Amino acid sequence: MDLDKVKQTFILEARELLAAMEEALLGIEEDLNPGESINAMFRAVHTIKGSAGLFGLDPIVRFSHTVESVMDRVRSKQISLDPTLVSLLLECHDHLASLITSTQEGVEETPESHEGSQRLLNQLIPYLEGNGVIESTPVRVAAQPSGASEGGWNECWHLSIRFGPDVLRNGMDPLSFVRYLGTLGKIVHLASVVEKLPRGEDYDPETCYLGIELDLDTDADRQTIEDVFEFVREDSEIRLLPPHSKVEEYIAFIRAMPEDERFLGEILVAGGCITTKDLEEALRTQKAETLEDGVIHGRLIGTILIEDQAVPPPVVAAALDKQKKFQDRQAQEMKVVKVQADKLDRLVDLVGELVIAGASANAMAVQVHEPRLLEATTIVNKLVEEIRDNALSLRMVQIGDTFNRFRRIVRDVSQEMGKSIELELHGGDTELDKTIVEKLSDPLMHIVRNAIDHGIESLEVRRARGKPDTGSLSLNAFHDSGSIVIEVADDGGGLNKAKILKKAVERGIIREGAELSDAEITSLIFEPGFSTAEAITKLSGRGVGMDVVRQNIDELRGSIELESYEEAGTTLRIRLPLTLAIIDGFRVGIGTASYVLPLDLVIECLDLGPFLESEENHLINLRGEVLPFLRLREIFRMPGEPPTRERVVVVQYGETRAGLVVDRLMGEFQTVIKPLGNLFKQVRGVGGSTILGSGEVALILDVPQLIQLASEPSSGLRRRPATHLPPTHS
Amino acid sequence: MAESMQLATRPAQPPATRGEEKVANQFLTFSLGGEVLGMEIRFIREILQYGGITEVPLTPAAVRGVMNLRGAVIPVIDLAVRFGRPSAPVDRRTCIVILEVEEGESTTVMGIVVDYVREVLDISDTEIEPPPTFGNTLRTDFIRGVGKIGRRFVLLLDVERVLSAEELASSDPAF
């Protein structure tokens, strides 16, 4: 019995449904035509209720039933969805989510959760009033009883269930479905179908051979009944026949059939349009024609049925349409495959190894000068490159989902702060490595909360400054030269430089009277223990804010830029690498060691000699542009003399360019980034390592840090080489 | 890589127990600067010939560099320098002992450079004396105890202490 596994599926699905519900709720306030969103919400709660019922999770069933009833009244426009109700429903969403979480932890109900349910239910009850008991949801059009006296031969739903052979193995008890159906209404008649049951030794006790035909007298709608079979729907055949079926209704019925691939004839029989006899005859005709022709082209059953006048053409057309729709739908569903994240990570790891092994084979082929071998390894490497790109793209996810979560946060936080804020989202389809997206959500949360709390001013201040009452906050994501940029912009008060300076002196971060550039002042807010909020609020200002953000971004090999205009707003720009695992590298040599630069950041390579502008100030003249440079040999305090012909690699990161002086240029190659571990955390200028084709380890240079070293020689904030090093050259 | 990953996830073996009351631990003994030292075998993953080390600039002197252990990049510690002695010249017997050290939640795999590896010895707890408090060239907190083997003595190292990543990273950079 692997019920746990099925339960996991339920939990996973419930989470997705809840996410859909939240999104719908948040969208509704701006939605001019909220019908679809309301339906989506209703369906979500409804499905959760149905599935929870299967597991006997009564607290969830009870609670979601009431929520569903309220939503149903919204759906049928008996009550309107005002902001208060939206807030209440959002709370219900949160509560449902917490119920699901405790289910996952194996706790069905705690006193707190019971209390929570009760409190929310009490709030929901007023919305149900006017109709007393709302026990059943309205029956949908397809199953609408029309002229109840007609076709009185069938007051009940007829259910035809053929369980799949694996139902028992999947941990399902067929009886539990019958039992649950009993809670929806009265089971009038039940017959078990055991024709599939084999004799004697062919019988496998773990295989399910059972089928059930039953008549159910219920007010529940089709969806509710279908949902009972949620967990066996895939491999079982479930057929529903609504009560009071009339000829015209069959068309509608066929359209509304459960999505089960089945033979057209069977659809018609199940729909009651034709009898089994009609079908048999039609089948016989088709078979006969097939035999005559000797080929299986015959006439389609649909054609036979019409020509033989078994069913009117519109019914067949509807059934065919239905079949086609099902196929289209199936094709669409096949486009998405859910894969466990760790399997994907393992694949990417292996591809990483493959890249290294490929590079080493190639290096070997070059060494032995065997053209055919070289050709073969070149082809292999090309394929490996493609596999790498594909494997990495598997891990890419759109940042939109992360962005969407901020709708809720901005809504809640701004309400709490009594500020009116509009959130704009751009570039939600920008793709980022899954790991990065996951690690990004916390820092982004911090930044957004900061923007709402400290950035956007109170209404009075905004009016005094002549700004619109509603503050604006925007999240924007886009690609920019080999990295991804995520911008958080607000139109708030901006950073108050005088205040920052004062605070930094108070907190002992800088000395009194220190001369700092604007950029240096704004970057002070990223220093540990810095917080400018005069009052510590619930949301931010615990002094663990921005330095943690910076740390998180650093760990992702990213950087933060800050642009702020007093009284006009702040834009925070996070720049991140596309992926964490593999990069195209450019290898350079210094002495006997070799280092790797990320190729994306390399602009060009030149000889130092002709471009040298000033040795003392470490400047080169690049066709009129003066760039700072630094000698890696000096920075890394390498022993030995530089060669007479030194090379410069011009690198660019963000807006800054600099030259890195090295001994040798060794060309491009693909490389897998290997972390260096805690021991090397404090090493500046080295970001990671990689394994060369020869098996040797090469260090990957951290270009942003090096550029910082090269371009800000006077900043007193960061750790730097303790002494000025004498220039070493011949 | 597959192999090394498997090894990496394997938990450190508890000390081998033999009999009820007499608990024997196995120790790997090795030579460093003419002295015989030992460490518990449960930390040790493998022993490799010296080679393939890449220096990392601006690191403490005790950090010899990094090496490629079947696809994983691991740090290599110069044990002599860690003990405040001059680094020994590399010869054909110089070895890198690969160890797995747990520190808090995480497990670190690292290599240490030793002059040469001697043998594996069984030393029961009753034959281990507490470390002497003076007369040592080693920091006393680096020593777990002194093992008696017949008439010889072996200094048994406290591996976790000696290879504490925190302490290694914060020691003075090499100049």
Distance separating alpha carbons of residues A611 and A492, to the nearest angstrom: 45
Pairwise CB contact (< 8 Å): B57 & A698: no
Disruptive mutation site among B68, B69, B99 for chain A (greatest number of A CBs within 10 Å): B68
Residue A610 burial (C-beta neighbours within 10 Å; 0-12, 13-18, 19+): exposed
Pairwise CB contact (< 8 Å): A635 & B57: yes
From B72, which residue of chain A is nearest by alpha-carbon distance? A674
A210-237 mean pLDDT: 78
For residue A265, is pLDDT > 50? no
What φ, ψ does residue B159 adopt, rounded to 5°?
-60, -45
A118: tokens are: 């009760």
Query: Looking at beta carbons, which residues of chain B come within 8 Å of A633?
Result: none
* Sign of the dihedral through C-alpha A438, A440, A446, A449: negative
**CA-based nearest distance A169→chain B, Å:** 32
A109 confidence band (pLDDT: 50, 70, 90): confident
A698-707 mean pLDDT: 84
C-alpha distances out from residue A528 to A72, A546, A572, Å: 51, 8, 18
- Give the closest of A674, A677, A699 to B108, CB-based: A677
Pairwise CB contact (< 8 Å): B56 & A686: yes
Pairwise CB contact (< 8 Å): A682 & B68: no
Query: Looking at beta carbons, which residues of chain B come within 8 Å of A678?
Result: 106, 108, 165-166, 169
B56: tokens are: 């990392």
**Class of the domain covering A3-135:** mainly alpha
Domain that holds residue B32: 28-170
Pairwise CB contact (< 8 Å): A681 & B169: yes
A376-393 mean pLDDT: 85
Chain segment A466-488, per-residue pLDDT in tens: 888 888 889 999 877 667 889 99
- Give the closest of B56, B67, B71 to A680, CB-based: B56
Please tell me whether residue A64 adopts helix, strand or coil conformation: helix
pTM, 2 dp: 0.47
Predicted pLDDT of residue B14: 47
Distance separating alpha carbons of residues A365 and A373, to the nearest angstrom: 6
Q: How many Cα neighbours within 13 Å face the side chain of A219?
A: 5
Predicted pLDDT of residue B113: 93
Report the relative pairing of strands B152-157 and B143-149 from DSSP bridges.
antiparallel
Pairwise CB contact (< 8 Å): B75 & A677: yes
Q: Flag whether B134 is in a domain.
A: yes
**CA-based nearest distance B112→chain A, Å:** 14
A538-552 mean pLDDT: 62
Q: Flag whether B18 is in a domain.
A: no
A321 confidence band (pLDDT: 50, 70, 90): low
Query: Looking at beta carbons, which residues of chain B come within 8 Å of A702?
Result: none
A237: tokens are: 């055949």
A526-553 mean pLDDT: 61
Residue with more model confidence, A294 or A502: A502
**CA-based nearest distance B36→chain A, Å:** 27
B57-77 mean pLDDT: 85
Q: Flag whether B7 is in a domain.
A: no
Q: How many pairs of residues across A and B have Cβ atoms under 8 Å apart?
A: 81
Of A219-223, A310-314, B151-155, the range with the highest mean pLDDT is B151-155
Residue A172 CB partners (closer than 8 Å, separation 6+): A6, A163, A231, A232
Predicted pLDDT of residue B112: 92
C-alpha distances out from residue A17 to A14, A247, A277, A428, B62, Å: 5, 36, 43, 21, 55
Pairwise CB contact (< 8 Å): B68 & A683: no
B161: tokens are: 């202490």
Predicted pLDDT of residue A319: 65
**CA-based nearest distance B70→chain A, Å:** 9
A479: tokens are: 């690609």
Chain segment A459-470, per-residue pLDDT in tens: 888 888 888 888
Pairwise CB contact (< 8 Å): A674 & B74: no
Query: Looking at beta carbons, which residues of chain A come within 8 Å of B3?
Result: none
Q: DSSP per residue over A548-613, as a string?
A: HHHHHHHHTT-EEEEEEETTTEEEEEEEEES-SSEEEEEEEEETTEEEEEEGGGEEEEEEHHHHEE
From A633, which residue of chain B is nearest by alpha-carbon distance? B57
Pairwise CB contact (< 8 Å): A697 & B75: no
Distance separating alpha carbons of residues A143 and A175, to the nearest angstrom: 26
Distance separating alpha carbons of residues A14 and A228, to the nearest angstrom: 15
Number of domains chain B is built from: 1
CATH (domain of B96): 2.40.50.180
Chain segment A428-445, per-residue pLDDT in tens: 888 888 878 888 888 888
Tell me which amino acid residue A562 is: L
- Give the closest of A353, A638, A697 to B73, CB-based: A697
C-alpha distances out from residue A146 to A149, A158, A245, A315, A370, Å: 8, 17, 9, 19, 84
Pairwise CB contact (< 8 Å): A697 & B67: yes
Residue from A577, A573, A549, A546 nearest A562 by CA? A573
A158 confidence band (pLDDT: 50, 70, 90): confident
Distance separating alpha carbons of residues A149 and A1, to the nearest angstrom: 46
Looking at CATH, the fold of the domain delimited by A582-715 is given as OB fold (Dihydrolipoamide Acetyltransferase, E2P) (2.40.50)
Disruptive mutation site among B3, B6, B48, B54 for chain A (greatest number of A CBs within 10 Å): B54
User: What secondary structure, in 3-state letters, does chain B show?
Assistant: CHHHHHHHHCCCCCCCCCCCCCCEEEEEEEEECCEEEEEEHHHEEEEEECCCEECCCCCECCEEEEEEECCEEEEEEEHHHHCCCCCCCCCCCCEEEEEEEEECCEEEEEEEEECEEEEEEEEEHHHEECCCCCCCCCCHHHEEEEEEECCEEEEEECHHHHCCHHHHHHCCECC
Q: Are the C-beta atoms of residues A359 and A670 closer than 8 Å to each other?
A: yes
For residue B4, is pLDDT > 60? no
Contact residues, chain A to chain B, C-beta under 8 Å:
349-350, 353, 356, 593, 635-638, 674-686, 689, 691, 695-699
Query: Percent of chain A at pLDDT above 70?
Result: 75
Predicted pLDDT of residue A2: 57
**CA-based nearest distance B149→chain A, Å:** 36
| Strand order, beta sheet including A602-607 | A602-607, A647-653, A656-662, A625-631, A619-622, A612-614
Disruptive mutation site among A697, A699, A709, A720 for chain B (greatest number of B CBs within 10 Å): A697
Disruptive mutation site among A346, A679, A681, A683 for chain B (greatest number of B CBs within 10 Å): A679
What φ, ψ does residue A336 adopt, rounded to 5°?
-115, 125
Distance separating alpha carbons of residues A139 and A152, to the nearest angstrom: 18
- Give the closest of A637, A678, A696 to B57, CB-based: A637
- Give the closest of B52, B58, B75 to A695, CB-based: B52
Q: Are the C-beta atoms of residues A161 and A240 closer than 8 Å to each other?
A: no
- Give the closest of A680, A689, A695 to B59, CB-based: A680
For residue A669, is pLDDT > 90? no
Q: Are the C-beta atoms of residues A366 and A378 closer than 8 Å to each other?
A: no
Tell me which amino acid residue A401 is: D
Report the relative pairing of strands A471-480 and A483-490 from DSSP bridges.
antiparallel
Q: DSSP per residue over A467-532, as a string?
A: --SSEEEEEEEEEETTEEEEEEEE-S----HHHHHHHHHHTTSS-TT----HHHHHHGGGSTT---
From B67, which residue of chain A is nearest by alpha-carbon distance? A697
For residue A290, is pLDDT > 60? no
Pairwise CB contact (< 8 Å): B54 & A635: no
Of A395-409, A496-510, B44-58, the range with the highest mean pLDDT is B44-58
Ordered by start, the domain boundaries in chain A are: 3-135, 152-330, 341-395, 397-577, 582-715
Query: Looking at beta carbons, which residues of chain A come within 8 Å of B168?
Result: 679
For residue A106, is pLDDT > 80? no
Q: Flag whether B100 is in a domain.
A: yes
Pairwise CB contact (< 8 Å): A697 & B1: no
A140-146 mean pLDDT: 37
Q: How many CB atoms lie within 10 A of CB A718?
A: 11
Pairwise CB contact (< 8 Å): A697 & B59: no
From B68, which residue of chain A is nearest by alpha-carbon distance? A697
Distance separating alpha carbons of residues A559 and A577, to the nearest angstrom: 9
Query: Looking at beta carbons, which residues of chain A come within 8 Å of B1?
Result: 349-350, 353
Question: What is the ipTM metric for this complex?
Answer: 0.77
DSSP A720: -
Residue with more model confidence, B62 or A157: B62
**CA-based nearest distance A100→chain B, Å:** 30
B28 confidence band (pLDDT: 50, 70, 90): very high
**CA-based nearest distance B80→chain A, Å:** 18
For residue A300, is pLDDT > 70? no
**CA-based nearest distance A696→chain B, Å:** 6
Q: What rounded mean pLDDT belongs to chain A?
A: 74
Chain segment B77-125, per-residue pLDDT in tens: 998 888 888 888 888 889 999 999 887 777 888 999 999 999 898 888 8
A327-331 mean pLDDT: 56
From A632, which residue of chain B is nearest by alpha-carbon distance? B57
- Bridge-partner residues for A688, per DSSP? A700
Place of tokens 């601006």: B58
Please tell me whether residue A410 adopts helix, strand or coil conformation: helix
The CA-to-CA distance between both ends of chain A, in Å, stands at 78
For residue A539, is pLDDT > 60? no
Query: Looking at beta carbons, which residues of chain B come within 8 Å of A349?
Result: 1
Q: Flag whether B120 is in a domain.
A: yes
For residue A723, is pLDDT > 70? no
Disruptive mutation site among B3, B64, B66 for chain A (greatest number of A CBs within 10 Å): B66
Distance separating alpha carbons of residues A533 and A706, to the nearest angstrom: 33
Q: Flag whether B71 is in a domain.
A: yes
Distance separating alpha carbons of residues B17 and A507, to the nearest angstrom: 56
Looking at CATH, the fold of the domain delimited by A397-577 is given as Heat Shock Protein 90 (3.30.565)
- Bridge-partner residues for A226, per DSSP? none
Distance separating alpha carbons of residues A642 and A625, to the nearest angstrom: 25
**CA-based nearest distance B56→chain A, Å:** 8
Distance separating alpha carbons of residues A91 and A419, to the nearest angstrom: 20
From A695, which residue of chain B is nearest by alpha-carbon distance? B68
B121: tokens are: 């010895």
Alpha carbon B74 to chain centroid, angstroms: 14
Residue from A653, A435, A701 nearest A552 by CA? A435
Disruptive mutation site among A638, A680, A720 for chain B (greatest number of B CBs within 10 Å): A680
